[in-house]
Amino acid sequence: MTTPAPLVIENLNFRYHSRETLAIKNISLSVEAGQVLLIAGASGCGKTTLARCINGLIPRSYKGELSGKILLNDKEVKDLSLAQVSQIVGTVLQDPERQILGTKVANEVAFGLENLTLPREEIRERVAEALEHLKIAHLMYRDTFNLSGGEKQKVALAGVLAMRPSILLLDEPLASLDPASAQDALAIIRSLADEGMTVLMVEHRVEDVLRIHPENAIFMMDGEIRYYGPTSGFDKTVDYHEVKLPAGMIMERARDDPAPERLTTLRQDSMVGMGKTPGEPLVKFENVSFWYEPDRLVLHDINLTINRGDVIAVLGPNGAGKTTLVKHAIGLLKPKSGSMSVEGKDTKEVSVANIARTLGYVFQSPSHMLFAPTVEEELAFGPQNLKHPADQIKQDVADAIKIVNLAGLEKFPPLALSFGQQKRVSIASVLAMQSKILVMDEPTAGQDYKNYLSFMDAILQLPGFEAILFITHDIDMAVIYANRVLMVNDGTVVCDASPAEALNDFDFLRQNRLIPTSLLKTNLDYLPKTGRFYSAEELAHVVH
Q: How far apart are CA 232 and CA 346, in angstroms?
A: 56
pLDDT of residue 1: 55
Top-level class of domain 270-358+435-542 = alpha beta
Fold match flag (7-238 vs 270-358+435-542) = yes
Strand locations in 84-214 (E): 89-92, 167-171, 198-202
Architecture of domain 7-238: 3-Layer(aba) Sandwich (3.40)
Which pLDDT score is estimated for 274? 43
Mean pLDDT, 10 residues at a time, the chain of 544 residues = 85 91 95 95 89 93 94 93 90 81 91 90 94 90 86 89 92 85 88 93 90 94 94 85 89 87 50 52 95 89 94 93 92 93 91 85 84 93 91 93 90 86 89 90 84 84 86 93 95 95 96 95 95 92 84
Give the DSSP per-residue string, 39-80.
EEESTTSSHHHHHHHHTTHHHHTS-EEEEEEEEETTEEGGGS
Burial of 232 (0-12, 13-18, 19+ CB in 10 A): exposed
What sign has the CA pseudo-torsion 219, 446, 399, 470?
A: negative
Distance, in Å, from the CA atom of 178 to the CA atom of 319, rounded to the nearest integer, reads 10
Whether the CA torsion 141, 146, 151, 157 is positive or negative: it is positive
Q: Is the dihedral of CA 463, 464, 468, 474 positive or negative?
A: negative
pTM value? 0.84
What is the residue extent of each domain of the chain? 7-238, 270-358+435-542, 368-434
* Gap between the Cα atoms of 413 and 86, Å rounded: 28
Report which of 373, 391, 393 is spatially closest to residue 382, judged by C-alpha positions.
393
3-state SS assignment for residue 277? coil
b/e string for 110-141 if b means 16 or more Cβ within 10 A?
bbbbeeeebeeeebeebbebbbebbebeebbe
Could you tell me which of 316, 318, 327, 405 has the C-alpha nearest to residue 368? 327
